[in-house]
Amino acid sequence: MKKIEKVIFIEPRAPDYHVFSKWGLPRLGCVLLATILRKHGIHSVVYVESKGAEIDLQDVLSADAIGITTITSTAPRAYEIADIAREHGIPVFMGGPHVSFLPEEALEHCDYVIRGEAEDIIYPFIKALEIGEGLEMISGISMKMNGVSYHSPTRCNCKDLDSLPFPDFSLIQGVKRYPITPVMTSRGCPYDCSFCAVTGMFGRRYRFVSPRRVVEGLQSIVPPADPNWVFFYDDIFNAHPKRTKELLRLMISEKVTPHWTAQVRTEVAKDKELLDLMEESNCYACYVGLESINPQTLKAYNKRQTPEDIQECIEKLHEHKIKVHGMFVFGSDEDDVHTIRQTAKFAKKNNIETVQFMILTPLPGSRYYDDLQRQDRLVTREWSLYDAHHVVFEPKKMSIWELQTETFRALMKFYSWWQVIKGFINFDLHNSLLRVYGRRLIVKWRKRNREFLELLGELTKSAGKMRPTMESFSSRARWLELMAKRAAGDIRERITILGSRAREYSRQRSKSDPHNLTHSV
Ligand code: B12
Ligand code: SF4
């Protein structure tokens, strides 16, 4: 038995730029789990790796157990960190959406995977780890037993969200201030879009925190979080309009109305009362899953919304002085290059303030992943490219080159200098600055991905036609994979540095007092 006194959680950095890169926002899982362990008297902290908030290796390697979270695009880095920790004999357990669906893959790098939601499990798990007994009784655990994989059934998701503590953001190391505070008021989603991994992970039953508890949470936000700006992390903030209205009414009556943003579906526009309350409670912007203006694509995504719903939603939000961040996904079997071009025009014409043009990505856990895998259309399994900005599958009505470059072009059109100036003309300085930020991000992305783009060009050209056949694709898939790894080279380089520093630290630790060293990566 080895007493577990210190547990460190790590959220690995994103492999590439994404729309929120600048803000380094954490997911809530690690913070909540660390908060829970603290309540049980276990020293627990979190590293949310991002620029300026690096992992302190000396601290990490002094933990009694290390928990690492994953989404698909961060899985490679998570595995590298896990390998290093295991080399040092520290037990590693992993969780999050990627490993929940691919636990076998993760067990090549870690000792335990906890699948699904982990708040009810984390303390019993740490206790079982400490006494070295009863691990197989933990719900949703995957591990090796005598060299054979064992997966215990997942009992259920966290039923009572009111019983969860408020996440303690001060446990995140190296961050002085979060300019936007994440707050989650619900879990699960009653819809079932084909590309989404949320329902597989959190279920279709919509569970929510009571309005009173949410308001208490908002009232208790303290630095490093900012009580004046809140991002409701709910997948769909308006999935249950009655409860959303109750919450907003309470926020208004209690005068707890920070500027807030949230992810919503287009149905929000059909409910005037809800829109009025959103405006009154200080809603600044909505991130709307608009997905596509192509009706066939909306059907293929099982989105249950029409292009008319999209138009109406933008208009109504604007009427209520709420900004629109439109999230579109390109690349369905119904999309061609014209869809992408038309979408950029549509977004500009309708004065959407900011957009994300994402590339359809087959995420493990989604129906779409199973379909493409069955159809043998995945062109790479380099997970760091599964970030919705790289093409990783063979589209139907365009080449991978077209899907990639047309998406890029559409982004450049939307974030053009004229669009920036338009913001100024409308006296919307904040929006203009956001568009400048968007433009800079795209340019940086292109620079960083030059090699990847060259590869896609080569691949398409050498196939001799713009739409390569399945055969030509599969024969080149290895090449793509190789090049993709090179494109991610600098990340691996950093990991190598992490590895060599780890070894150096370990050598020195065995020789002398570890507290003389301060390594950070
Ligand atoms: C907020 C959010 C963001 C934020 C912040 C992201 C961040 N730091 O990664 C922003 C807007 C920046 C963002 C960006 C992206 N996101 Co996002 N995002 C979310 C969202 C809505 C909420 C996250 C959250 O806090 N959830 C609540 C907490 C409680 O859940 P959790 O952190 O997963 O933790 C629970 C379990 O997973 C488990 N667990 C988690 N970690 C660990 C670790 C251990 C050791 C253990 C034991 C258990 C465990 O226990 C926790 C408690 O129950 C989720 C959807 C969702 N419902 O989770 C999508 C989600 C995570 N995002 C997703 C994606 C794809 C992206 C992007 C790639 C694309 C995009 N949309 O732009 C980028 C990539 C960012 C990156 N880091 O590389 C996917 C990931 C799926 C996957 N398999 O990869 C999700 C699941 C949504 C979806 N459509 O499926 N995102
Ligand atoms: S995309 Fe949005 S609406 Fe569709 S299943 Fe996922 S969370 Fe629900």
The model's pLDDT over 229-246, given as tens digits with 9 standing for 90+, comes to 999 999 999 999 999 999
Q: What SS3 state is found at 270? A: helix
Residue 438: inside a domain: no
Residue 127: inside a domain: yes
Closest-CA residue to 314 (of 281, 296, 290, 282): 290
Residue 426: inside a domain: no
Do 327 and 229 fall within a single domain?
yes
Residue 190: inside a domain: yes
> Ligand 1, atom 10: nearest CA belongs to which residue?
20
Looking at residue 455, its pLDDT comes to 77
The model's pLDDT over 83-98, given as tens digits with 9 standing for 90+, comes to 999 999 999 999 999 9
Round the average pLDDT of the chain to a whole number and report it. Answer: 89
Looking at residue 240, its pLDDT comes to 97
Domain endpoint, select from 373, 389, 423: 373
260: confidence class by pLDDT, cuts 50, 70, 90: very high
Residue 197 has pLDDT above 70, yes or no: yes
Do 142 and 201 fall within a single domain?
no
Contact 423, 429 (CB under 8 A): yes
Q: What's the CA gap between 62 and 59, in Å, rounded? A: 5
Looking at residue 342, its pLDDT comes to 98
* Dihedral (Cα; 299, 305, 308, 311), 10-degree rounding: -120
CA of 268 to the centre of ligand 2 (A): 14
Residue 511 has pLDDT above 60, yes or no: no
Q: Which residues pair with 259 in a beta bridge?
A: 229
Residue 323: inside a domain: yes
* Residues in CB range of 311: below 8 A, 6 or more apart: 350
Q: Which CATH number fits the domain that encloses residue 284?
A: 3.20.20.70
The model's pLDDT over 481-500, given as tens digits with 9 standing for 90+, comes to 655 554 444 444 444 445 55
Do 118 and 190 fall within a single domain?
no
Looking at residue 33, its pLDDT comes to 98
Domain endpoint, select from 322, 351, 373: 373
Show the domain range for 96.
Answer: 6-151
Which atom from ligand 1 is nearest to the alpha carbon of 386? 68
Give the rounded distance of the alpha carbon of 470 from its chain centre: 31
Total domains in the chain come to 2
**Least confident residue range of 81-85, 195-199, 429-433, 515-519:** 515-519
119 CB near ligand 1 (under 6 Å):
yes
18 CB near ligand 1 (under 6 Å):
yes
**Residue labelled with tokens 């630095």:** 223
**Least confident residue range of 173-177, 248-252, 267-271, 315-319:** 173-177
* Share in percent of the chain as helix, strand, coil (round to 5): 50, 15, 35
Do 90 and 186 fall within a single domain?
no
14 CB near ligand 1 (under 6 Å):
yes
Residue 109 has pLDDT above 90, yes or no: yes
Do 204 and 340 fall within a single domain?
yes
| Over residues 392-416, mean pLDDT | 94
Do 242 and 144 fall within a single domain?
no
Domain endpoint, select from 151, 166, 191: 151
Do 197 and 319 fall within a single domain?
yes
CA of 483 to the centre of ligand 1 (A): 27
Do 299 and 342 fall within a single domain?
yes
**Least confident residue range of 184-188, 264-268, 481-485:** 481-485
> Ligand 1, atom 3: nearest CA belongs to which residue?
27
476: confidence class by pLDDT, cuts 50, 70, 90: low
Residue 82 has pLDDT above 90, yes or no: yes
Do 96 and 28 fall within a single domain?
yes
Residue 254 has pLDDT above 70, yes or no: yes
Do 225 and 361 fall within a single domain?
yes
Residue 68 has pLDDT above 70, yes or no: yes
Do 355 and 236 fall within a single domain?
yes
24 CB near ligand 1 (under 6 Å):
no
DSSP 8-state symbol, 135: G
The model's pLDDT over 281-290, given as tens digits with 9 standing for 90+, comes to 999 999 999 9
